[in-house]
Structure 1
Amino acid sequence: MAYIQENFAEVMPGLRLSWGGLHPDGRVPVLLVPGYADSWRFWLPMFPYLPDWLRVFALSPRGHGTSDAPATGYTVADNAQAALPASLTLSTSPRPSSLATPAADTWHGNLL
């Protein structure tokens, strides 16, 4: 397994989100988002089982892990609004791939 290092992406002015990556030469980008009150490190136990053709980005939502923690912006819509630019910033794909359909009223470890 490749070495995993914590990185940061500025997804909007004044908001940096931390992320960990795996397989930088992978062909298919995938964004992993943990459930409430967790960071990208939630996904570490799964990393050894992910195929090397996946370019993996595991994201920490605002206020979690070492991501910035602004005073506001913690609704599901706010987190989704930050995750989309993160996926576009981190990925070489023209659009993020959807591997799971998130429930409209939850933010629980969905794959985007």
Structure 2
Amino acid sequence: MPAIAVHKAALREGLVLPYAEVGGPSGVPVVLVHGYADSWWTFEPLLRRMPASLHAYAPTQRGHGDADKPPDGYLPEDFATDLVAFMDSVGIERAVLVGGSSGGVQARIVAGRYPDRVAGLVLLGVPVALADKPAAAELWEAVRDLEDPVDRDFVERFALGMTAEPVARGFLETIVEENLKAPARVWRETLRGLLETDLRATLAGILVPTLAVWGDQDPIVTRAEQQTVLDTVIGSRLIVYEGAGHVVYWERPERVVRDIADFADFAKSAA
């Protein structure tokens, strides 16, 4: 089991993001991009299982976890700009981007705009749209009136609603603690950005090898959305995890790591 090292990356304008890292320079660079309200800790089950063939980085995005929390910059395109700046800061020229949930939106933006920086793209339960979904509207109703400190019961319900299979209680408690580090305004402005952005448009122009991974019990992302990815991104592939929910990387970390490693090997040979 590899040891996880935690560092800090200084980006433009003094923005500092913590990031977790496992692996050495001989491994294929992989950047794990977390989703809404999370931090690098959401990928801890994957990081603990990373093979030596991969050199993984998991940054915490602005406003989240222990990252700096500037007053603005919470649109998907802002997070995408930060992602490229992070890669510059830690010296990653080209990497496989692995986006979890809404983290796949900024990963898609980077893949479409900077294909020379992206060796491949893995989308783990990533939505094609949110604004038209009742669950997203219900979440917005709750989030728009959030105040600090953010209610712990609300965060626990949010985290528990993401899974279809049991997840270790201690890990879920860590996720809740990390979610609580995001101020109410970050919950609000990040979700507003996701709802007001044309997420479908972020699929345009992606020419790098792409793998979609989806749990068929996902309460947020539909099978039809996965078909949209296949129809839009040339040469993309889909792996369905039967019985898994939205965060397959919590529920099936061993399999997710295997699929990422196999895909990274494929992307490396295709370069």
CA shift for structure 1 position 105: 2.1
CA distance in 2, matches of 1:44, 1:83: 19
**Bigger CA radius of gyration:** 2
CA contact (8 A) 1:88 1:96 kept: no
Deviation at 1:92, TM superposition (A): 4.0
| One-letter code aligned to 1:31 | V
Is the CA contact (8 Å cut-off) linking 2:29 and 2:92 kept in structure 1?
A: yes
What SS class does the counterpart of residue 4 from structure 2 fall into?
A: coil
Normalized against structure 1, the TM-score is what? 0.81
CA-to-aligned-CA distance 1:52-79 (integer Å, 9 cap, x gap): 1111000111011111000000110000
* Secondary structure in structure 1 of the residue aligned to 2:120: coil
Structure having the larger proportion of residues in helix: 2
Normalising by the residue count of structure 2, what TM-score does the alignment of the two structures yield? 0.36
Partner of 1:8: 8
Q: How many pairs align?
A: 108
Give 5+ residue unaligned stretches, structure 1. none
Alignment of structure 1 residues 25-44 onto 2, 5 Å: 25-44=25-44
| 1:24 matched residue in structure 2 | 24
Question: Could you report, residue by residue, the CA deviation over 1:12-71 in whole angstroms, capped at 9, with x for unpaired residues?
Answer: 122111100000234210110111100001100112332211110001110111110000
Aligned to 1:105: 199
- 1:30·1:97 contact (CA, 8 Å) conserved in 2? no
Give me the CA root mean square deviation: 2.4
Runs of 4+ aligned residues of structure 1 deviating over 6 Å after TM superposition are none
Q: Measured at CA, do residues 89 and 47 of structure 1 come closer, stay the same or move farther in structure 2, by a change above 3 Å? A: same
Cα distance between partner residues in 1 of 2:119 and 2:40: 18
Q: Which runs of 5+ in 2 are unaligned?
A: 95-116, 129-197, 201-246, 248-259, 261-271
Counterpart code for 2:52: D
